Amino acid sequence: MAQAFHIKLRKKLALFLQSTLRKIFLKVPEKTKIDTSIIQKILVVRINYRIGNILFTTPLLNALSKQFPDAQIDMILGAPFIAPLIEGMPNINKVYSFDRQLLKHPLDVLSLRKEINQNEYDLMVLSSGLSTSDTLISWLIHAKNKIGFYDKNSFKNLTYIVDAPTKVEHEALVPLLIMEELGESSRDSFDHHLDIRLTKEEKKKVETPYCTQAIGIFRDARNEKKIDDAWWRELIKALKELDASLTFVDILDPNSKVPLEEDMQTISEKNLRILAAKIGNLKAFICGDTGPMHLSSASKTPTIALFKTTSPTLYGTLGRDDLSLEMKEKSVKEIAKEILDHLKESEGKI
């Protein structure tokens, strides 16, 4: 999928600037181990504005809380509307948002910097490889130790470096490599699934009778990833032909109030944590390659992700009962059968 010209230009300029600054000002830190005995306060940095990319940090967040059970773990991310997802995790103390609009207000940036620096972090973890926003935070915020992936083109202010992966891996699993530099355990010792750690109480609070046995669908997606409504109607028809007892709930974008079918139950919710709890009550969830796919998986609902134009290698769903399904030249009936077979197999494990 081709990127817009302005996005390509912005990335090239950012790469050139970071590479130039590194060559002039920075030396590569020596690759040594951190004294983990001093770590009591941790700040995880991932300045990003997409739901999926923030959810990809949850394996790392949960690994850090397992490795340092008594430490305070905070996070700074991008869009404020995503913050509730992480704020609600019981192992996370505080979440800061670095909205794009802040860059237009330098005094607000300085105020946020002052507030965060008062925490006097022992460890800053930069979970992404090459990110201009994360690089900026690495210079703005103080921490005794700063760890992240080494990149010859990055101007990140690090005291400890982690070798970047040498092979193609899922984006949510790459940050776990950092854990190998923070102890003796390999990353295989930590959970590899997305998990926002919803509580039973959160799910119970929003439970409705029609959801517990229903399959949720989400039809929206970016650009070529979007699957048209006519195809979704065919899929539901094919699924009902295979199992007449199936019921469906249409998860609507908050800006859209039009369900796929007039008589279909719907869910519309702006607060992402509450939406996750509602999805967590569903029997299963089907959607395209989009953020709610990862939201469903992180809510521990069996998730079927339909990949129309992209590959699931880097961004597929990771749950134990999930399925990343490449549509390719398959018919709707073939896909419906694969979905139903997968759901029956998943139910058989319970």
Query: Which domains does the chain possess?
Result: 28-189 (3.40.50.2000), 200-349 (3.40.50.2000)
| Mean pLDDT for the stretch of residues 43-55 | 95
Q: Which residues pair with 326 in a beta bridge?
A: 307
State the residue for tokens 């800053």.
Answer: 124
Residue 203 and residue 301 in contact, taking contact as beta carbons nearer than 8 Å: no
Structure confidence by residue, pLDDT tens digits, 276-335: 999 999 999 999 999 999 999 999 999 999 999 888 988 999 999 999 999 988 999 999
Structure confidence by residue, pLDDT tens digits, 141-175: 999 999 999 887 777 889 998 988 888 889 999 99
pLDDT at 168 (0 to 100): 83
139: exposed, middle or buried (Cβ count in 10 Å: 0-12, 13-18, 19+):
exposed
| Interatomic CA distance for residues 51 and 228, integer angstroms | 22
| Interatomic CA distance for residues 265 and 85, integer angstroms | 24
Rounded percentage of the chain residues whose pLDDT exceeds 90: 70
pLDDT at 9 (0 to 100): 63
| Interatomic CA distance for residues 146 and 45, integer angstroms | 10
**Token pair of 135 as six digits:** 């690089």
Q: In sequence order, which residues have a C-beta less than 8 Å from that of residue 201 and are 6 or more positions away?
A: none
| Interatomic CA distance for residues 318 and 87, integer angstroms | 22
The pTM assigned to this predicted structure is 0.90
pLDDT at 5 (0 to 100): 60
Starting at the edge strand found earlier in the chain, the sheet holding 160-162 runs 94-97, 72-77, 41-46, 121-126, 143-149, 160-162
Task: For residue 339, name the pLDDT band (cuts at 50, 70, 90).
Answer: very high
CA distances from 250 to 224, 275, 305 (A): 21, 12, 15
pLDDT at 131 (0 to 100): 81
Query: Would residue 341 be called left, alpha or beta, if left means φ above 0 and alpha means ψ between -120 and 50 degrees?
Result: alpha
| Interatomic CA distance for residues 288 and 307, integer angstroms | 6
| Interatomic CA distance for residues 2 and 22, integer angstroms | 29
- 4 versus 256: the higher-pLDDT residue is 256
Task: For residue 348, name the pLDDT band (cuts at 50, 70, 90).
Answer: low
Q: Is the pLDDT of residue 58 over 80?
A: yes
Mean pLDDT of the chain: 90
pLDDT at 26 (0 to 100): 60
